Protein backbone atom coordinates (compact mmCIF):
# COMPACT_ATOMS: atom_id res chain seq x y z
CA UNK A 1 0.00 0.00 0.00
CA UNK A 2 1.20 3.52 -0.77
CA UNK A 3 0.05 6.90 0.48
CA UNK A 4 1.37 10.46 0.58
CA UNK A 5 0.38 13.74 2.21
CA UNK A 6 0.75 17.07 0.42
CA UNK A 7 3.56 17.77 2.87
CA UNK A 8 5.59 15.10 1.08
CA UNK A 9 5.51 12.44 3.77
CA UNK A 10 4.96 9.01 2.23
CA UNK A 11 3.92 5.57 3.37
CA UNK A 12 5.79 3.33 0.97
CA UNK A 13 5.24 -0.28 -0.04
CA UNK A 14 3.74 -1.19 3.24
CA UNK A 15 2.09 -4.49 3.71
CA UNK A 16 0.89 -5.97 6.94
CA UNK A 17 -1.38 -8.80 7.87
CA UNK A 18 -2.97 -9.03 11.27
CA UNK A 19 -4.08 -12.42 12.49
CA UNK A 20 -7.54 -12.54 13.99
CA UNK A 21 -7.64 -12.64 17.77
CA UNK A 22 -4.01 -11.58 18.16
CA UNK A 23 -2.20 -8.50 19.42
CA UNK A 24 -0.14 -6.47 16.99
CA UNK A 25 2.22 -3.61 17.91
CA UNK A 26 3.21 -0.74 15.68
CA UNK A 27 6.26 1.20 16.74
CA UNK A 28 8.72 3.68 15.25
CA UNK A 29 9.93 7.17 16.00
CA UNK A 30 7.80 10.33 16.15
CA UNK A 31 6.66 11.17 12.65
CA UNK A 32 7.39 7.69 11.26
CA UNK A 33 3.77 7.28 10.12
CA UNK A 34 2.08 5.18 12.80
CA UNK A 35 -1.00 7.37 13.20
CA UNK A 36 -1.20 7.83 9.43
CA UNK A 37 -1.23 4.07 8.96
CA UNK A 38 -4.02 3.68 11.51
CA UNK A 39 -6.04 6.39 9.76
CA UNK A 40 -5.63 4.47 6.51
CA UNK A 41 -6.77 1.28 8.18
CA UNK A 42 -10.01 2.76 9.47
CA UNK A 43 -10.79 4.50 6.20
CA UNK A 44 -10.15 8.08 7.37
CA UNK A 45 -7.50 8.31 4.64
CA UNK A 46 -7.42 6.59 1.29
CA UNK A 47 -4.38 4.73 -0.07
CA UNK A 48 -3.04 5.88 -3.44
CA UNK A 49 -2.34 2.35 -4.49
CA UNK A 50 -2.76 -1.04 -2.95
CA UNK A 51 -5.70 -2.06 -0.81
CA UNK A 52 -6.80 -2.78 2.71
CA UNK A 53 -8.91 -5.72 3.73
CA UNK A 54 -10.60 -5.95 7.09
CA UNK A 55 -12.33 -9.17 8.13
CA UNK A 56 -11.70 -10.37 4.57
CA UNK A 57 -13.66 -7.44 3.16
CA UNK A 58 -11.90 -4.81 1.06
CA UNK A 59 -12.15 -1.38 2.68
CA UNK A 60 -14.04 0.66 0.14
CA UNK A 61 -15.06 4.31 0.04
CA UNK A 62 -18.65 3.24 -0.39
CA UNK A 63 -20.31 4.92 2.58
CA UNK A 64 -22.63 2.08 3.47
CA UNK A 65 -19.96 -0.61 3.38
CA UNK A 66 -17.46 1.58 5.19
CA UNK A 67 -20.07 2.19 7.88
CA UNK A 68 -20.65 -1.54 8.28
CA UNK A 69 -16.95 -2.28 8.68
CA UNK A 70 -16.44 0.70 10.97
CA UNK A 71 -19.08 -0.70 13.29
CA UNK A 72 -16.76 -3.56 14.09
CA UNK A 73 -13.78 -1.32 14.82
CA UNK A 74 -13.01 0.69 17.93
CA UNK A 75 -10.44 3.40 17.27
CA UNK A 76 -8.76 5.13 20.21
CA UNK A 77 -7.30 8.43 19.01
CA UNK A 78 -3.82 9.40 20.13
CA UNK A 79 -5.21 12.65 21.51
CA UNK A 80 -8.41 12.16 23.55
CA UNK A 81 -9.43 15.76 22.78
CA UNK A 82 -10.02 14.58 19.21
CA UNK A 83 -12.41 11.92 20.47
CA UNK A 84 -14.52 13.42 23.24
CA UNK A 85 -17.17 15.96 22.39
CA UNK A 86 -20.43 15.36 24.28
CA UNK A 87 -21.52 17.65 27.15
CA UNK A 88 -20.94 14.95 29.77
CA UNK A 89 -18.71 11.92 30.13
CA UNK A 90 -21.73 9.66 30.48
CA UNK A 91 -23.24 10.90 27.19
CA UNK A 92 -19.91 10.64 25.46
CA UNK A 93 -19.40 7.04 26.48
CA UNK A 94 -22.90 6.14 25.34
CA UNK A 95 -22.70 7.97 22.02
CA UNK A 96 -21.20 5.18 19.90
CA UNK A 97 -23.50 2.55 21.38
CA UNK A 98 -26.58 4.72 20.69
CA UNK A 99 -25.29 5.25 17.18
CA UNK A 100 -25.27 1.49 16.71
CA UNK A 101 -28.96 1.63 17.60
CA UNK A 102 -28.56 -0.65 20.57
CA UNK A 103 -31.51 -0.93 22.87
CA UNK A 104 -31.49 1.99 25.41
CA UNK A 105 -31.53 -0.39 28.39
CA UNK A 106 -28.52 -2.20 26.99
CA UNK A 107 -26.73 1.12 26.33
CA UNK A 108 -27.30 2.24 29.94
CA UNK A 109 -26.05 -1.10 31.26
CA UNK A 110 -22.91 -1.01 29.15
CA UNK A 111 -22.18 2.65 29.96
CA UNK A 112 -22.43 1.97 33.68
CA UNK A 113 -20.17 -1.06 33.34
CA UNK A 114 -17.63 0.93 31.28
CA UNK A 115 -17.69 3.89 33.70
CA UNK A 116 -16.94 1.50 36.54
CA UNK A 117 -14.33 -0.39 34.56
CA UNK A 118 -12.29 2.76 33.86
CA UNK A 119 -12.92 4.16 37.30
CA UNK A 120 -14.77 7.30 36.22
CA UNK A 121 -18.15 6.80 37.82
CA UNK A 122 -17.76 9.86 40.06
CA UNK A 123 -16.99 11.97 36.97
CA UNK A 124 -19.95 10.84 34.90
CA UNK A 125 -21.65 14.25 34.88
CA UNK A 126 -18.44 16.20 34.21
CA UNK A 127 -17.67 17.83 30.91
CA UNK A 128 -14.88 15.86 29.17
CA UNK A 129 -12.95 19.12 28.91
CA UNK A 130 -12.59 19.38 32.66
CA UNK A 131 -10.82 16.07 33.06
CA UNK A 132 -7.10 15.41 33.28
CA UNK A 133 -5.32 13.85 30.29
CA UNK A 134 -5.32 10.37 31.79
CA UNK A 135 -8.98 10.63 32.75
CA UNK A 136 -9.84 11.75 29.21
CA UNK A 137 -7.96 8.80 27.78
CA UNK A 138 -9.85 6.46 30.09
CA UNK A 139 -13.19 8.05 29.08
CA UNK A 140 -12.29 7.64 25.41
CA UNK A 141 -11.42 3.98 25.98
CA UNK A 142 -14.70 3.44 27.83
CA UNK A 143 -16.60 4.79 24.81
CA UNK A 144 -14.99 2.10 22.68
CA UNK A 145 -15.46 -0.72 25.14
CA UNK A 146 -19.22 -0.30 25.17
CA UNK A 147 -19.17 -1.07 21.43
CA UNK A 148 -17.49 -4.45 22.05
CA UNK A 149 -15.57 -4.09 18.79
CA UNK A 150 -14.06 -7.03 16.94
CA UNK A 151 -10.99 -4.98 16.15
CA UNK A 152 -9.63 -2.55 18.69
CA UNK A 153 -7.17 -0.02 17.29
CA UNK A 154 -5.34 1.93 19.97
CA UNK A 155 -3.08 4.88 19.15
CA UNK A 156 -0.66 5.23 22.09
CA UNK A 157 -3.06 3.77 24.65
CA UNK A 158 -0.61 3.94 27.56
CA UNK A 159 1.01 7.32 26.95
CA UNK A 160 0.69 9.67 29.94
CA UNK A 161 -1.10 7.12 32.11
CA UNK A 162 -0.02 6.21 35.61
CA UNK A 163 0.85 2.58 36.35
CA UNK A 164 -2.45 1.91 38.07
CA UNK A 165 -4.36 3.22 35.08
CA UNK A 166 -2.23 1.11 32.72
CA UNK A 167 -2.88 -1.94 34.87
CA UNK A 168 -6.58 -1.20 34.86
CA UNK A 169 -6.72 -0.62 31.09
CA UNK A 170 -4.86 -3.81 30.36
CA UNK A 171 -7.08 -5.83 32.64
CA UNK A 172 -10.24 -4.55 30.95
CA UNK A 173 -8.88 -5.00 27.45
CA UNK A 174 -7.59 -8.50 28.21
CA UNK A 175 -10.95 -9.53 29.68
CA UNK A 176 -12.85 -8.20 26.70
CA UNK A 177 -10.39 -9.79 24.33
CA UNK A 178 -11.10 -13.17 25.87
CA UNK A 179 -14.86 -12.70 25.93
CA UNK A 180 -15.27 -11.17 22.49
CA UNK A 181 -12.29 -12.68 20.62
CA UNK A 182 -11.05 -9.20 19.96
CA UNK A 183 -8.09 -8.42 17.73
CA UNK A 184 -5.88 -5.60 18.96
CA UNK A 185 -3.60 -3.27 17.02
CA UNK A 186 -1.76 -0.66 19.06
CA UNK A 187 1.00 1.88 18.61
CA UNK A 188 3.51 2.65 21.30
CA UNK A 189 6.97 3.95 22.10
CA UNK A 190 7.06 1.73 25.15
CA UNK A 191 8.99 -1.38 24.18
CA UNK A 192 7.91 -3.19 27.33
CA UNK A 193 4.46 -3.60 25.80
CA UNK A 194 5.88 -4.50 22.42
CA UNK A 195 8.00 -7.23 23.97
CA UNK A 196 5.57 -8.55 26.52
CA UNK A 197 2.10 -7.99 25.14
CA UNK A 198 2.29 -8.10 21.35
CA UNK A 199 2.54 -11.30 19.37
CA UNK A 200 3.85 -9.50 16.32
CA UNK A 201 5.32 -6.10 15.63
CA UNK A 202 5.96 -3.71 12.79
CA UNK A 203 8.69 -1.09 13.07
CA UNK A 204 8.16 1.94 10.84
CA UNK A 205 11.07 4.06 9.68
CA UNK A 206 9.96 7.19 7.85
CA UNK A 207 6.92 5.53 6.30
CA UNK A 208 8.69 2.29 5.42
CA UNK A 209 8.74 -1.04 7.18
CA UNK A 210 12.07 -1.72 8.86
CA UNK A 211 11.02 -4.91 10.58
CA UNK A 212 7.95 -7.06 10.78
CA UNK A 213 7.82 -10.19 12.87
CA UNK A 214 8.36 -11.58 16.34
CA UNK A 215 8.82 -8.81 18.92
CA UNK A 216 11.58 -10.60 20.85
CA UNK A 217 13.60 -11.16 17.70
CA UNK A 218 12.92 -7.63 16.43
CA UNK A 219 14.01 -6.01 19.64
CA UNK A 220 17.38 -7.73 19.30
CA UNK A 221 17.85 -6.55 15.74
CA UNK A 222 20.73 -4.06 15.59
CA UNK A 223 19.06 -1.88 12.95
CA UNK A 224 15.87 -1.69 15.01
CA UNK A 225 17.78 -0.87 18.19
CA UNK A 226 19.82 1.75 16.39
CA UNK A 227 16.66 3.37 15.03
CA UNK A 228 14.66 3.34 18.24
CA UNK A 229 17.47 4.32 20.61
CA UNK A 230 17.52 3.47 24.30
CA UNK A 231 17.97 4.77 27.82
CA UNK A 232 21.69 3.87 27.55
CA UNK A 233 22.21 6.77 25.17
CA UNK A 234 20.20 9.08 27.39
CA UNK A 235 22.16 7.94 30.43
CA UNK A 236 25.35 9.17 28.77
CA UNK A 237 24.23 12.78 29.00
CA UNK A 238 22.75 12.67 32.48
CA UNK A 239 25.42 10.63 34.24
CA UNK A 240 26.73 12.21 37.39
CA UNK A 241 30.49 12.07 37.59
N1 LIG B 1 -2.72 15.91 7.86
C2 LIG B 1 -1.43 15.92 7.53
N3 LIG B 1 -1.00 16.62 6.45
C4 LIG B 1 0.29 16.63 6.08
N5 LIG B 1 1.27 15.94 6.73
C6 LIG B 1 0.90 15.22 7.81
C7 LIG B 1 -0.46 15.18 8.27
N8 LIG B 1 -0.52 14.40 9.37
C9 LIG B 1 0.73 13.98 9.59
N10 LIG B 1 1.59 14.45 8.66
C11 LIG B 1 3.04 14.16 8.56
O12 LIG B 1 3.18 12.78 8.34
C13 LIG B 1 4.27 12.25 9.09
C14 LIG B 1 3.79 11.08 9.92
O15 LIG B 1 2.93 11.55 10.94
P16 LIG B 1 2.21 10.56 11.96
O17 LIG B 1 1.34 11.38 12.81
O18 LIG B 1 1.63 9.44 11.20
O19 LIG B 1 3.48 10.02 12.80
P20 LIG B 1 3.51 9.09 14.09
O21 LIG B 1 4.43 7.96 13.80
O22 LIG B 1 2.14 8.77 14.51
O23 LIG B 1 4.22 10.06 15.15
P24 LIG B 1 4.04 10.18 16.75
O25 LIG B 1 4.91 9.11 17.36
O26 LIG B 1 4.57 11.55 17.05
O27 LIG B 1 2.60 10.03 17.07
C28 LIG B 1 4.85 13.40 9.88
O29 LIG B 1 5.99 13.87 9.19
C30 LIG B 1 3.74 14.44 9.87
O31 LIG B 1 4.26 15.73 9.88
MG1 LIG C 1 1.04 9.17 16.21
Whether residue 59 is contained in a domain is answered as: yes
By most ligand atoms within 8 Å of CB, the mutation choice from 32, 154, 187, 228 for ligand 1 is 32
Q: Are residues 134 and 46 in the same domain?
A: no
Ligand nearest the Cα of residue 28 is 1
What's the pLDDT tens digit per position in 66-108?
A: 777 778 899 999 999 999 999 999 999 999 889 888 899 999 9
DSSP string, the chain: -BEE-TTS-EE-S------TT-EEEEEESTTSSHHHHHHHHTTSS--SBS--EETTEE--S-HHHHHHHHTTEEEE-SSGGGT--SSSHHHHHHHHHHHTT--HHHHHHHHHHHHHHTT-GGGTTS-GGGS-HHHHHHHHHHHHHTT--SEEEEESTTTT--HHHHHHHHHHHHHHHHHHT-EEEEE-S-HHHHHHT-SEEEEEETTEEEEEE-HHHHTT-HHHHHHH--HHHHHHHH---
Which atom of ligand 1 sits closest to the CA of residue 39?
18
In a domain, 224, yes or no: no
Query: What pLDDT is stored for residue 68 in this prediction?
Result: 77
- Shared domain check, 100 and 62: no
Q: Which domain holds residue 46?
A: 42-67
pLDDT digits (tens, 9 = 90+) for 137-157: 999 999 999 998 999 999 999
**160 Cα: distance to centroid of ligand 2 (angstroms):** 14
Chain segment 31-40, per-residue pLDDT in tens: 999 999 999 9
What is the pTM assigned to this prediction? 0.92
Amino acid sequence: MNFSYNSGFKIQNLSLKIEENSIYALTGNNGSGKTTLLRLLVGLLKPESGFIKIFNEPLTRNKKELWEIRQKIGFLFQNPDDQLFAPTIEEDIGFGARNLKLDEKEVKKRVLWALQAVNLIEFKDYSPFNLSWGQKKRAALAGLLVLKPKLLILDEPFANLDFNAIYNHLKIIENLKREENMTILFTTHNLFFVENWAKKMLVLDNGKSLYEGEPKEGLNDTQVLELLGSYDKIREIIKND
